[in-house]
Amino acid sequence: MPAGKASAKLLDLLNQAIARELQVVVQYMWQHVQWKGVKAFAVNDALKKTAIAEMKHAEIIAERLFYLGGIPTTKPEPIFVGSTLKEMIARDVKDEANAIKMYNTIIAVARKEGDEVTNLMFRHILQDEEEHHDLFTSLLEEI
Ligand SMILES: [Fe+2]
Ligand SMILES: [Fe+2]
């Protein structure tokens, strides 16, 4: 698909995806910094690794959006750190579930517009988000 040919709808969805990736980068980083309690030892590393994965997502989505003629947002969605480990991870499970929902929509729209690269890109990202959702869900059961 040549640059400048994506629909306004798809560009807007890509920017919404960037805003939520930026949110979870900071969210998981600050949760990793502010964790408390013995149980958090196990969670700490997972949060750190996931924050880095989300940063890579933000970057590749921004590259795609820019290529398609959009300007990537610098504004994250509201960040929720939480005060207890349970509160933190419960929120992360929800955010990953929302990502899965949003990225399925993006895949459908990209497909409809014949944008195979965006389609493929989000299928890969979706796979990561499903893993994150699974990870946080498992962690939540243990804390
Ligand atoms: Fe992500
Ligand atoms: Fe994720």
Instruction: Decide which of 70 and 36 is more confident.
Output: 70
- Ligand found nearest the CA of 124: 1
The answer to whether residue 90 scores a pLDDT higher than 80 is yes
**Mean pLDDT in residue range 3-17:** 90
Residue 113, pLDDT score: 96
The answer to whether residue 124 scores a pLDDT higher than 90 is yes
pLDDT tier for residue 44 given thresholds of 50, 70 and 90? confident
Residue 58, pLDDT score: 98
Residue 3, pLDDT score: 54
CA of 96 to the centre of ligand 2 (A): 5
Coil, helix or strand for 4? Answer: coil
Coil, helix or strand for 6? Answer: coil
- Ligand found nearest the CA of 95: 2
Residue 15, pLDDT score: 98
